[in-house]
Structure 1
Amino acid sequence: ELQIDFSQYEHPTVLTVEEQAKYVGDKGGGLSKNLFLKDKKSRFYIVSALADTKVDMKVLSQRLGLGKGGIRMAPEEALGEILQ
């Protein structure tokens, strides 16, 4: 619909940027990371960023209107529950 060119590469599930680089690091472009986050009201967020980006959680929290320290990494088991 938006006519954006892209390439898709199949690879096994990876849990780290280092693992991702083994499969797609030579394809060009930037590697990415996804952060699964939760705020104090149990709302969940997924933030995608280039792998070498330092995500300042305090700044992100403020930009989302949650105040300082209003967002943190979500528990791993919550992702499975949400995706079911």
Structure 2
Amino acid sequence: QQKMQQEMMALYRETGTNPLASCMPILIQSPFFFGLFRVLNGLDEMASGSKQPIGPLSRDLAAQAESSTIFGAKLSDIFL
């Protein structure tokens, strides 16, 4: 196993590859996913008026998104 790790490190040096480079896309995307989660998680509160709307997402639009369905099932029931 140690021999395999040494060969992998040699391969990384030979090709100029960084083994941590594959983590960069998820690190860049994670703030957007957290923001999207917060918006989608608060749709019911925005629709009821207990929470302020965010940007162009009005109270009516939040209510429409909250009551939307796909294949007859409410989206808010599927994800929560």
Shorter-chain TM-score range: under 0.3
**Could you tell me the TM-score, scaled by structure 2's length?**
0.24
Larger Rg: 2
Structure scoring higher RCO (CA < 8 A, sep ≥ 6) equals: 1
Task: Write 1 or 2 for the structure with the bigger share of strand.
Answer: 1
TM-score by length of 1: 0.24
Larger helix percent: 2
